[in-house]
Chains A and B, each alone.
Chain A
Amino acid sequence: MNNSPLNQSPSHSPLPETIHRFSFTGTGGGYFPIWLTNLALTVITLGIYGAWAKVRKERYFHEHTHLNGSSFEYTANPISILKGRLIVFGIFIIFAVTQTIPFVNIFVLLLLFIAAPKIVTQAIKFRARYTNYRNIPFRFSGTYGRTFIYFFLLRIPAVLTLGLLFPWVKHAERKYLVDNLGYGKTNFSFGASVKTFYKCYLSAAVFLLLPLTIFILRSLVATFFDVEKLPGTIENGLTPQSGSTILELISGSVGAIALVASFFVVFSVGIPLVKVLLARATWSNTSIGSFKVTYNLTFWSYVGVLVTNILLLIVTLGLAAPFCMVRLFKYKIDRLSISGPTSIDEFVNARETELRAFGDEAADVYDLDIDFGL
């Protein structure tokens, strides 16, 4: 697109690389009164202040994130967020009212399905466009059609293949998201392979498939053994009663408890593990022009932060929420860095006409909490 040194591949550069680390200087104590004020004003104004609260929250987190001596900026207008929320609210009301009316509910559902990619695309554009660093905004050049394909249509083969294609779909989705992000004129580039994504899911498979394994085991025991009549054998060290007891336990209460526990394992270990592995695979294989991103997230330390946060929330009945949010955000940001042969000073802003060429037309009213997979 342009011949700036920032758009050259990192591997071709002969210059020594400089590492620039991100850092977060926010504190739980600093954010607590902001969180409390946001919550209180949102309640008092019956939710209207929520849009302003969102901006203040985002501003706190952005403005305390530093890179190479400058901090990030969140410049969204609360009125735009309020408009976006009113649109979503209106859609919800229409959906709720028409839910019991035959045919009309199908029609509304169809309209929602058609509108969803637009809402998602605009939400990503909105978030990117109102995030600034050094007075240059980020941008997202995705389109309705491509969002429809990557975020919605590709889910169909993933379901039809019982999830076997899911890592491929997730890879395509992340590639679409990252490749269409930009900072000024400079494009992001996604370099992770599909194989890496399959490896992420395979590493977590032992945890994710635990409920299915236990379910199959229980069903097999219940189907193929008549647990009430089955004797234990002396050879395998079981008394005549104990053999049947073990099988009874597997198909009975112990099996049921194990099944519930396995879901806990999925949610507390399996899903965070996938999240960590995917985030690392995505961002550590991303480059911004000639800068390479590194994301040194490790699973056990991440789970450690998550688990202690949950305990803190339980003990304080939710009042520790701002401290937990800051802690998790700081943990993530402090592990992020970029390295490259050029100075951060060399990025160039895109002009309005160029932004239109990127497909980054005004994204003024949509705002959803879109996860960039960090």
Chain B
Amino acid sequence: MRARALYFNGETSRREDVELEFAPDNSITLLKNSGSRHWPIGTYHFDLPIGKSAIRIRGPEGSLVEAPYASELYEALRSISTKQEKVVSALEERWPAALGLFGLAVLVCACLYLYGLPIASRTIKPFIPFKLKQFVGEQVLTLYEKAGIGQSQLSEIQKAQFMKAASDLTTAAAFPFEIEITTREWKLHGTEIENAFALLPEKIVVSDALVNHLSIDETQAIVAHEIGHLYYDHGTEHLIRSSLVSILSIALFGGDPGTVQAVAFAMLDAKYSQSHETEADLYATALLKKINKRPQLLGEALKKITADSPEYMHEKYFSSHPLTSERKKRLETE
């Protein structure tokens, strides 16, 4: 087959009109005014054009032939191109094929989301040294201290009551290491925060406001929930997962995730976080039963803490915790 083409010698930008002949033995002959050139197969190379752009063939002496897209020449070159190029160009040329591949990619993402990340984080978890976890925990606590967590202002009697309740729980939990449970004053813009959190790998912090608001049994239920987080080592899992997600994000989007990706990652994080909360809730009910306390105490405590804040449906998907109403319902059936 023959096609009209432009020839560039690589020394100047001068173009020369040529005729390109593609022979059945896959050799190329260029018919120029100044004579002809013969390129046997293996002496020239090419990349298949993208989106019906011009066909480019590089010759042995650094020259270039540029021919307008022609299906016959394209098919001839396609037949001798690499397998990888054939597959990719076949996908790119057909919308249904590209859409099918996209569907497969969505499936891969779903599998990674549902199985890959949890399996990977659980596999890596045992290899994280205890000292590293302690370091991370201390760093996070320092950040909290900068954000307004100070020394506890509770009375000595309150502190003693709290420590007794906490000690009952830790004895029942029987951890191989000592759990450090403290109360701290926690203010944000002058407002007292009612909250408690577990830090890697053995710390639990309860705010003064929470102790003041709840009965000692209810406070104990909240601490039992936080011990649940330590028992399952959720903090380490979260650390590994967010690191993996960050690495994946950089690999896929070059470290610049747009809004859609940011929302997807927020939902992803919320899903795992909510499952951790449910796991910790169930652990807490078992621990409360072990020290002969009502497991419903946890649900009652949660209701008391969130009494003033309305629930919105979107929190079900984006919040780090499941809806309190759902948690309470689940805990009542335990």
**Binary CB contact string for chain A from 26 to 57 against chain B (1 if under 8 A, 0 otherwise):** 10001111101101111110111010100010
Residues B269-308 near A (CB distance < 8 A): none
Which A residues are in CB contact (< 8 Å) with B124?
Answer: none
B11 is contacted by which of A31, A52, A71, A348 (Cβ under 8 Å)?
Answer: A348
> Given that A33-B95, A345-B14 are known contacts, is A44 also in contact with B51, CB under 8 Å in the complex?
no
Does B36 sit at the interface, judged by CB under 8 A? no
Interface size on A (CB < 8 Å)?
A: 47
Q: How far is the CA of A217 from the CA of B246 in the complex (A)?
A: 42
Contact A70 B6 (CB under 8 A): yes
CB A343 to nearest CB in B, in angstroms, measures 8
Q: How far is the CA of A349 from the CA of B14 in the complex (A)?
A: 11
> Given that A69-B15, A345-B13, A346-B12 are known contacts, is A40 also in contact with B101, CB under 8 Å in the complex?
yes
Which B residues are in CB contact (< 8 Å) with A47?
Answer: 248, 250-252
A34 is contacted by which of B47, B51, B64, B247 (Cβ under 8 Å)?
Answer: B51
Does B99 sit at the interface, judged by CB under 8 A? yes
Which B residues are in CB contact (< 8 Å) with A318?
Answer: 258, 260
Does A315 sit at the interface, judged by CB under 8 A? no
CB A119 to nearest CB in B, in angstroms, measures 14
Does B54 sit at the interface, judged by CB under 8 A? yes
Contact A40 B14 (CB under 8 A): no
Contact A60 B50 (CB under 8 A): yes
Does A300 sit at the interface, judged by CB under 8 A? no
Contact A135 B252 (CB under 8 A): no
Q: Chain A: interface secondary structure?
A: helix
Give the segment of B86-94, B158-166, B209-217, B314-322 that binds chain A. B86-94
Residues B1-59 near A (CB distance < 8 A): 6, 8-15, 47, 49-54, 56
Does A133 sit at the interface, judged by CB under 8 A? yes
Q: How far is the CA of A47 from the CA of B248 in the complex (A)?
A: 8
Which A residues are in CB contact (< 8 Å) with B10?
Answer: 135-136, 349
Does A64 sit at the interface, judged by CB under 8 A? yes
Contact A50 B252 (CB under 8 A): yes
Contact B101 A347 (CB under 8 A): no
Which A residues are in CB contact (< 8 Å) with B94?
Answer: 33
Contact B98 A69 (CB under 8 A): no
Contact B104 A64 (CB under 8 A): no
Q: How far is the CA of A48 from the CA of B247 in the complex (A)?
A: 12
Q: How far is the CA of A31 from the CA of B50 in the complex (A)?
A: 9
Name which residue of chain B comes closest to A368, CB basis.
B254
Name which residue of chain B comes closest to A132, CB basis.
B64
Contact A135 B105 (CB under 8 A): no
Which B residues are in CB contact (< 8 Å) with A26?
Answer: 51
Residues B238-273 near A (CB distance < 8 A): 246-248, 250-252, 254-255, 258, 260
Does A301 sit at the interface, judged by CB under 8 A? no
Does A335 sit at the interface, judged by CB under 8 A? no
Which A residues are in CB contact (< 8 Å) with B252?
Answer: 42-43, 46-47, 50
A39 is contacted by which of B49, B102, B135 (Cβ under 8 Å)?
Answer: B102
Does A299 sit at the interface, judged by CB under 8 A? no
Does A73 sit at the interface, judged by CB under 8 A? yes
Does A89 sit at the interface, judged by CB under 8 A? yes
Which A residues are in CB contact (< 8 Å) with B172?
Answer: none
> Given that A37-B88, A346-B12 are known contacts, is A46 also in contact with B248, CB under 8 Å in the complex?
yes
CB A36 to nearest CB in B, in angstroms, measures 4
Contact B56 A73 (CB under 8 A): yes
Q: How far is the CA of A147 from the CA of B52 in the complex (A)?
A: 39
Name which residue of chain A comes closest to B103, CB basis.
A40
Does A59 sit at the interface, judged by CB under 8 A? yes
Contact A100 B139 (CB under 8 A): yes
Does A134 sit at the interface, judged by CB under 8 A? yes
Does B108 sit at the interface, judged by CB under 8 A? yes
CB B321 to nearest CB in A, in angstroms, measures 27
A44 is contacted by which of B56, B62, B105 (Cβ under 8 Å)?
Answer: B105
Does B63 sit at the interface, judged by CB under 8 A? yes
Which B residues are in CB contact (< 8 Å) with A59?
Answer: 47, 50, 53
Q: How far is the CA of A226 from the CA of B94 in the complex (A)?
A: 69
Contact A63 B54 (CB under 8 A): yes
Does B119 sit at the interface, judged by CB under 8 A? no
Does A10 sit at the interface, judged by CB under 8 A? no
CB B15 to nearest CB in A, in angstroms, measures 6
Name which residue of chain B comes closest to A99, CB basis.
B139
Does A15 sit at the interface, judged by CB under 8 A? no
Contact B51 A346 (CB under 8 A): no
Which A residues are in CB contact (< 8 Å) with B8?
Answer: 70, 134-136
Which B residues are in CB contact (< 8 Å) with A63?
Answer: 49-51, 53-54
Does B109 sit at the interface, judged by CB under 8 A? yes
Contact A70 B250 (CB under 8 A): no
Which A residues are in CB contact (< 8 Å) with B52?
Answer: 30
Does B66 sit at the interface, judged by CB under 8 A? yes
Q: A135-B10, A349-B10, A349-B12 are in contact. List 19 more A-B contacts (CB 8 A).
A: A33-B94, A34-B50, A37-B88, A40-B102, A40-B104, A41-B88, A41-B105, A44-B105, A46-B251, A47-B251, A50-B251, A52-B88, A56-B88, A69-B15, A92-B255, A135-B9, A135-B63, A318-B260, A345-B12
Question: What are 8 A-B contacts defined by CB distance under 8 Å?
Answer: A36-B102, A63-B49, A69-B6, A89-B251, A318-B260, A347-B13, A348-B11, A349-B13
Q: Which 4 A-B residue pairings sit nearest by Cβ, starting from the closest?
A: A47-B251, A63-B53, A135-B8, A40-B105
